[in-house]
Amino acid sequence: MKFHSTFSEITYIVRPQDIEIKAGRPTTTKGLRAEFHKGRFNSESAQKSLGWTEEDRETVEKYLVAHVDHGKSLSVMDIKAIADEAETQQVCLAMYVVAGESQSCGRPCTGDFCPEHAAEFVEEEETASV
């Protein structure tokens, strides 16, 4: 699960490191923390690099989702969010007629037209002005 924070560097202590007495000996239990770098935190990556169990990862994810910051400075970058981003991406507005039906190019682009159509329109304008 990917998380985003408006704070670039923030650490959420999910479970503090603790010392438990087990069988008469102090045993340190690993703490769980979600460390954001550049506003990003990926629980799957953290699980791999920090050797978390599935349970550890889920504990962290649940903690962040339930956190008071969630919906404010903290948000989940789930698959849906990525899909929404893709939908709002600009597409080429060029229209052309194929077999009597007008079709739109619809190629993803940064301006109003894809590089191919942008070049075509520039050419047409130049020809018209001559």
Nearer to Zn ion, 13 or 95 (CB): 95
**Residue 91 touching Zn ion (CB under 5 A):** no
Return the sign of the alpha-carbon dihedral for residues 105, 108, 112, 115: negative
CA angle 41, 86, 98 (to 5 degrees): 165
93 binds Zn ion (CB under 5 A): no
Indicate the residue among 60 and 109 with the shorter CB distance to Zn ion: 109
Residue 74 touching Zn ion (CB under 5 A): no
Question: By CB under 5 A, is residue 105 in contact with Zn ion?
Answer: yes
Q: Which is nearer to Zn ion, 60 or 114 (CB)?
A: 114
The H or E element that residue 76 is part of is strand 74-76
Residues near 31 by beta carbon (within 8 Å), at least 6 away in sequence: 13, 14, 15, 16, 17, 18
Please give the residue ranges that form the binding site for Zn ion (CB under 5 A): 92, 94, 105, 107, 114, 117
